[in-house]
Amino acid sequence: MPIRHISTCLDSAGVEFQEDGVVFVTTEPVILGVCDAFSIPYDRDTPPIFVPDGNWKKISTGEMVKLIFCQTLPEVQKNDFWATISEIDKKVRELNIRAQDQYNLPREPAYSAGMSCVAVRVWPGTIEIFQCGDCIAAWKYKNGEIDYTRNPVKAASIRLRKAKAQLLKESDGDVDKARVRFTPLLQEQKNSDTNNEQSSEGYPSINGSLRIQMCQEVSLPSNEISCLLLCSDGFLPFECFNDQERINKLIRNIDCAGLDGHLERILKLQGEEATAAFIRFE
């Protein structure tokens, strides 16, 4: 096996619900995955929906999506990515239908839990990458060149970030008040762009209605790769996404200092869940 070292990190940054997850299967082929789940939208006026986790505990719908990912992704050892991700999406759809029916919610993206994810399967001669949403992979070749998977959610995120900042300003810095006003905008965006190939800001999401052809798959020769990073969006400053120069700097820094050094910097900047896995190859 061409792997020399694997490291992972997951910092919840004190969030209310821990909806990021990491999967690590050590037997061949090695499987690594990172997910960033989200709950059915909620705010001060609309409480979050909780579901049983199978162990006498109630968790958020986003936390349940994370569990589905972590429990099901290892099946990619014996199936291809499309089959395994489709099975995950099916389980998320069943979760959403139960919650929507129980709370009389419309069956649409605005009222669905889901997630972004990125995963890798490492064979002796090949590295296979699957990416959905705004979790990304980035890798460095042994010749020093760096490449990465693009974040298709960035365009929609830019618009939402501007709207959120404006609402926070209009609410005199009251985060809860701004969030109540933001929720309808978020729901409108989800209905417009999620798994919609016709939208200029469309992107894939594992929410029970995944358009898997919108996802990205990459195959790399393992003997040409020096290192590879998988991460959630919270692990990167937003401006890094789809920016070759910033991604180059990021990978070189992590290659030198490891995940922990970058994690400490990003938590100071963003204060949200940050999750990553890093592989060094022989």
Quick one: which of 235, 242, 232 has its CA closest to 118?
A: 232
Beta sheet of 20-25, edge-to-edge order = 20-25, 30-38, 114-122, 126-132, 216-221
Residue 179 has φ and ψ, to the nearest 5°, of -65, -35
CA pair distance 20, 189, nearest whole angstrom: 22
CA pair distance 220, 122, nearest whole angstrom: 10
Bridge partners (DSSP) listed for residue 216: 131
Q: What pLDDT, in 10s, does the model give residues 174-207?
A: 999 999 999 999 999 999 999 999 999 999 999 9
234: its two tokens: 């919270």
The pLDDT-based confidence of 268 (bands split at 50, 70, 90) is low
CA pair distance 263, 172, nearest whole angstrom: 31
Q: What pLDDT, in 10s, does the model give residues 109-155?
A: 999 999 999 999 999 999 999 999 999 999 999 999 999 999 999 99
Contacts of 241 (CB under 8 A, 6+ apart): 134, 136, 150, 151, 154, 233
Q: Are strands 114-122 and 146-148 parallel, antiparallel or unpaired?
A: unpaired
pTM above 0.75, yes or no: yes
The pLDDT-based confidence of 263 (bands split at 50, 70, 90) is low
Whole-Å CA distances, 208 to 82, 97, 143, 274: 14, 9, 40, 24
Whole-Å CA distances, 225 to 56, 106, 139: 44, 46, 7
- Cα 18 from chain centre: 13
Whats the size of the chain, residue-wise? 282
